[in-house]
């Protein structure tokens, strides 16, 4: 499953705009993935400027 490390996220919003499943929300300026909606396409991993989203 894909997760975002909140302590490293800059809140740029790039992954939110790109996620085809609309599975990412901004919470307290940090991106958070809804595991129920995520299809693990990994687009957010590719777009993140600091490569935060990762498989866990």
Contact positions vs ligand SF4 (CB under 6 A): 2, 4, 9-15, 19, 21, 23-24, 31, 33, 38-44, 47-48, 50, 52-53
Report CA dihedral (5, 7, 13, 18) to the nearest 10 degrees.
-10
CB of 37 to ligand SF4, least distance (A): 7
Between 19 and 56, CB nearer to ligand SF4: 19
Structure tokens at 53: 């989203």
CB of 17 to ligand SF4, least distance (A): 9
Identify the CA nearest to 32 among candidates 24, 21, 40. Answer: 24
């Amino acid at each position: 499953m894909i997760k975002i490390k909140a302590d490293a996220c800059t809140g740029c919003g790039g992954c939110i705009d790109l996620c085809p499943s609309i599975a990412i929300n901004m919470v307290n300026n940090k991106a958070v993935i809804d595991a129920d909606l995520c299809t693990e396409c990994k687009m957010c991993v590719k777009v993140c400027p600091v490569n935060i989203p990762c498989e866990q």
